[in-house]
Structure 1
Amino acid sequence: MTTTTATPAPPFGRALCAMITPFTDSGALDLDGAQRLADLLVTEGCDGLVLSGTTGESPTTTDAEKSALVRAVREAVGERASIVAGVGTADTRHTVELTLAAEKAGADGVLVVTPYYSRPPQDAVEEHFRTVADASGLPVVLYDIPGRTGTRIEPDTMLRLAAHPRIVAVKDCSYDFLGTQKVLSRTELAYYAGCEEHILALYAVGGSGYISTVANLVPRQLRSILDAFDAGDTARAALLQQQATELIESTMAAGLPGTVTVKALLNDLGRPAGPVRAPLRPAGRETADGLRSAYERLRAA
């Protein structure tokens, strides 16, 4: 006789958008635009919003802007969606300060990236995350993206961190599927695909969903991949994943940061976005036109 156990509900939902941070034409924080975009994304199927991550231009927003963004988005979405605040920096003390500010502003959790540039060894990485997790009552999502930070959260480090009661999830951009499955098989950490091409693959082996930049553009289409899989229609889930490939590639692998490409298309669609902040530069017209074409083909699929 085979027994099954219920899979724990993902701590922040399944379909999360790594939301861009809208700015006005002059480059100021556009809180009204952020509220309108957040409401649209939740209405279109997002269970949660990740604010002030890489896509949210966290390196060029101030601490005060980050807190104001959490408060504004919470006001817009209420309890309809979870809010995870990006608080990761290369400085443990600063990261703790941002975590406490996010908690005060009304976030449901925090996203903490591996300290970057200084390339700390694994014991220091582990201590950094523990210090942040100990600092507040908020659950923590570890953000493993060595391609940007220069430092991996090694699977053995992840296994040790999983014992902390407030370290509950991982945004996985490690591109190490074996290492990811090793941690999945030995912990209760909720794994979210941070790379859209892995949405279905990670979900199929026990992942909890995704934290997606492309969800700024097509939230309903990406959620439909998970919905089809949950309904037992794995062939349709695979088809939907494949249909999204062109837009994923155009947005995330065309030589420009996802923030730049997403804002280009959102502006073209008349949705809240605005400019990017330097040192990022806006996409050219040819790029925007190519993104619009890929978007329209996916919408028509």
Structure 2
Amino acid sequence: MRSHTAGPFGRALCAMITPFTASGGLDLDAARRHAAGLVADGCDGLVLSGTTGESPTTTDAEKTALLRAVREEVGDGVTLVAGVGSADTRHTVRLAQEAEEAGADGLLVVTPYYSRPPQEAVEAHFLRVAEATGTGLMLYDIPGRTGTRIEPATLLRLAAHPRVVAVKDCSYDMLAATGVMARTSLAYYSGSEELNLPLYAIGGAGYVSTVANVVPRRMRAVLDAFDAGDTAEAARLNGLLAPLVEAMMAAGLPGTVTVKALLDAGPVREPLRPAGREATAALRGLHEELRAAG
């Protein structure tokens, strides 16, 4: 097992929602408040304009405005990673350059989706982005959404680039993650809450969590207990989180929808739809149970 050296972007990162006004516009004031609260509650960094941030339905200008507003709110001491992924390499490069200029500390770059490029093309896509900026990349491996994974052999080659520094892992392939971590210095961040603790235990750097929008201290406490050497307490705390994680992330509604329902954080953009009354009540019940737990 690798020791837990500091990851390039911290260890407890929240995949932050993007708040909208009742009329559907970008709500920068709400974004500032939410970002400040997450940092105060233990988040080392924030990932903006990822899947949870509804990046497919925000404009390039909105992404930049959101990044600038959050940077102004939290200051330079908090890591901000900007989601710049798209299915178009040229567009991704442009987003990466705009995010770097707006103050991003890192770039979250997802595998190009829908077109299902072969591994040679996947590798070339990431290298184009890495060469176009001076900012470190977190590669986002989520084949369940993109249709294409980043194969371990591809990750081994990409790890040789000085600006390819991390992976957000939603592959559900712990064996592959173990092998890549053993052979590279890539920092692995769990993108699946149920695997936060297992991945951390085998040398992962931390997590990028949607659920952390709602319970940031609870999420971080699991890693804190593990780092303190109390693995039994880490497992207990992780178990307490499991019902809420399942309801928010694996019960049929996207994480963006469940977070906004719990936080009453404004609408989602179509094609997403808000959680219904029954689903919202169930989520709030589980949230209250977790708050009451020891």
Give TM class, smaller chain: over 0.9
Partner of 1:139: 136
Distance in 2 of aligned mates of 1:185 and 1:30:
43
Residue 21 (structure 2) aligned to one of 24, 31, 48: 24
Contact 2:260 2:267 in 1 (8 A): yes
Task: Say if 2:69 is the partner of 1:77.
Answer: no
The yes-or-no answer on 1:291 pairing with 2:286 is no
Instruction: Give the CA deviation at 1:5.
Output: 8.9
* More off after superposition, 174-183 vs 4-13: 4-13
Of the three residues 124, 127, 131, the one matched with 2:124 is 127
Q: Does 1:226 align with 2:218?
A: no
SS for the counterpart of 1:164 is coil
- Tell me how far apart the structure 2 counterparts of residues 154 and 224 of structure 1 sit (CA, whole Å): 32
Asked whether the 8 Å contact 2:4–2:204 carries over to 1, the reply is no
Which secondary structure does the structure 2 equivalent of 1:244 belong to? helix
Which amino acid letter does the alignment assign opposite residue 291 of structure 2?
Answer: R
Choose the corresponding residue for 1:68, options 65, 69, 74.
65
The CA distance in 1 between the partners of 2:259 and 2:59, in whole Å, is 21
1:199 aligns with 2:199: no
**CA separation in 1, counterparts of 2:2 and 2:60?**
42
What is the letter of the counterpart of residue 268 of structure 2?
A: V
Rounded Cα–Cα distance in structure 2 between residues aligned with 1:81 and 1:44: 13
Residue number in structure 2 paired with 1:59: 56
1:178-218 deviation per Cα after TM superposition (whole angstroms, max 9, x unaligned): 01111011110000000000011000000000000000000
Give, as a single letter, the amino acid of the residue that structure 2 aligns with 1:193. Answer: S
**TM-score, normalised via structure 2 length:** 0.98
2:115 pairs with 1:118: yes
Alignment length (residue pairs): 293
> What is the CA-CA distance between 1:233 and the residue it aligns to?
0.4
Unaligned runs of 5+ in 1: 268-272
Note the C-alpha offset of 1:300.
1.2
Q: Determine if the alignment matches structure 1 residue 45 to structure 2 residue 42.
A: yes
**Once the 2 structures are TM-superposed, how far is the Cα of residue 7 of structure 1 from its aligned partner?**
4.6
- Does structure 1 retain, via aligned residues, the 8 Å contact 2:262–2:283? yes
Segments ≥4 residues shifted beyond 3 Å:
4-8
Percent identity between matched residues is 71
The alignment's C-alpha RMSD in Å is 1.1
Unaligned runs of 5+ in 2: none
